[in-house]
Amino acid sequence: MGVNVRGRSFLTLLDYTPDEIRYLLGLSAEFKRLKRAGIDHSSLKGKQVVLLFEKTSTRTRCAFEVAARDLGMGVTFLDPGSSQMGKKESLADTAKVLGRMYDGIEYRGYKQSVVEDLAKYSGVPVWNGLTDDFHPTQMLADILTVQEEFGDVRGRKLTFFGDARNNVANSLLVICSKLGMKFCACAPEELQPKKELVDRCRRVAEETGAEITLTADIEEGIRDCDVVYTDIWVSMGEPDEIWEKRINLLKPYQVNKELMAKAKPTAIFMHCLPSYHDRLTTTGEEIYQKFGLPAMEVTDDVFLGTQARQFDEAENRMHSIKAVMYATLK
């Protein structure tokens, strides 16, 4: 049976079937091939998309902009300082206006309800470019990267070390469940994903053969691991005061050489980026001065080592975002 996601929004991935996700992954790989071969794929000429960013971004913004242009589309970028949204105009009114002018809307911001409402009121496909709860476009890039390494992803064990209830970890839980993978959240109890999401994903896992493990035990997390994944310990939108507590909780979960040595010898390291792996950022240096940590969620030896795949992931953001826009707008 053919897969068709035309006209759909892309908000959490929970409403996409495994076949629909595999279709988007296949399309991502095809767009990567076309881009690498220099073959024109501007098949959405005449369409227009708008990108709304209430949080900062490098990868997601650039991926959407380049992907839209490669597809032949026009792009408008709006940040909170340059639009009326929220301050002088309600979300619903903004969505209705944008839906009259644009064929699709990307949103990055805080509450998940905002991206859901944009989809509800605009009448055009809305793509979630990260909220406090989910980061679904990151997932296609991540799984494409895992596929490029291992082929079939079914049965592969991906362990997330760190704040396992953040947007990236939640979305990994969702996609691994959908694709029959072994997902392990390795984190202290208070940083484990919410029960409601876990229960929902466990029901998906019953259908797909996926396995979900929540553990605070690092040895259990790293055992037989194919993909060692981490993310920053404090996400955008969280207060600076939380750093000390988070460092104390997550220091044992740092991805370093000793941890990587306990994974499968063929294991890869992944990170959505940006990352605090050295002192070459203002926050990295501040944390070093305050707490004496030269690296946080991952050490430089792993980040710069042969098992690291984070820059392949970053490139794949563009190919997979192109696939999402194409499939929902074509």
Residues that bind ligand CP (CB under 6 A): 57-60, 130, 138, 272-274
d(CA 145, CA 156): 13
Closer CB to ligand CP, residue 204 or residue 268? Answer: 268
> What's the CA gap between 161 and 257, in Å, rounded?
14
Nearest to 19 by CA among 246, 229, 207: 207
In the complex with ligand NVA, the residue whose CB is nearer, 93 or 190, is: 190
CA dist 157 and 35 (Å) reads 30
| Distance in Å, CB of 252 to ligand CP, minimum | 24
- Cβ burial, residue 15 (10 Å; 0-12/13-18/19+): exposed
| HSE-up of residue 150 (Cα within 13 Å, Cβ side) | 21
Interacting stretch for ligand NVA, rule CB under 6 A, among 31-39, 227-235, 282-290, 312-320?
227-235
Quote the tokens at residue 159. Answer: 């362990």
User: Which residue among 167, 254, 299, 310 contacts ligand NVA (CB under 6 A)?
Assistant: 167
Q: Is the peptide bond before 274 cis (omega within 30 degrees of 0)?
A: yes
Chosen from ligand NVA, ligand CP, none, partner binding at 232 (C-beta under 5 to 8 Å by type): ligand NVA
In angstroms, rounded to a whole number, what is the distance separating the alpha carbons of residues 230 and 300? 13
Alpha helices in 225-266 (DSSP H): 243-250, 257-260
Total residues at interface with ligand NVA (CB under 6 A): 9
Query: Out of ligand CP, ligand NVA, none, which partner does residue 58 contact, by CB within 5 to 8 A per kind?
Result: ligand CP
CA nearest 191: which of 213, 220, 214, 225? Answer: 214
The residue whose Cβ lies closest to ligand NVA is 235
Binding-site partner at residue 231 among ligand CP, ligand NVA, none, CB < 5 to 8 Å by type: ligand NVA
166, interface contact from ligand CP, ligand NVA, none, CB < 5-8 Å by kind = ligand NVA
Give the nearer residue to ligand CP in terms of CB position, either 134 or 326. 134
Q: Is 120 exposed, middle or buried (0-12, 13-18, 19+ CB in 10 A)?
A: middle
Confirm or reject binding of residue 232 to ligand NVA (CB under 6 A): yes
Q: How many CA atoms lie within 13 A of 19 on its CB side?
A: 5
Binding mask 63-102 for ligand NVA (x = CB under 6 A): ----------------------------------------
Q: Is 131 in the site for ligand NVA (CB under 6 A)?
A: no
With CB under 6 A as the contact rule, the residue among 145, 159, 166, 171 that binds ligand NVA is 166
Residues 155 and 209: their CA atoms lie apart, in Å, by 8
Instruction: Give the type of residue at 121.
Output: Y
Nearer to ligand NVA, 14 or 236 (CB): 236
**CA angle 248–249–251, rounded 5-degree value:** 65
- C-alpha span between 246 and 276 (Å, rounded): 14
Q: Which of 13, 119, 168, 259 is the binder for ligand NVA (CB under 6 A)?
A: 168
Residue among 60 and 131 whose Cβ is closer to ligand CP: 60
- Report, as residue numbers or ranges, the catalytic residues: 108, 135, 138, 231, 272, 317
Binding mask 234-273 for ligand NVA (x = CB under 6 A): -xx-----------------------------------x-
CB nearer ligand NVA, residue 226 or residue 231: 231
Q: Which residues bind ligand NVA (CB under 6 A)?
A: 130, 166-168, 231-232, 235-236, 272
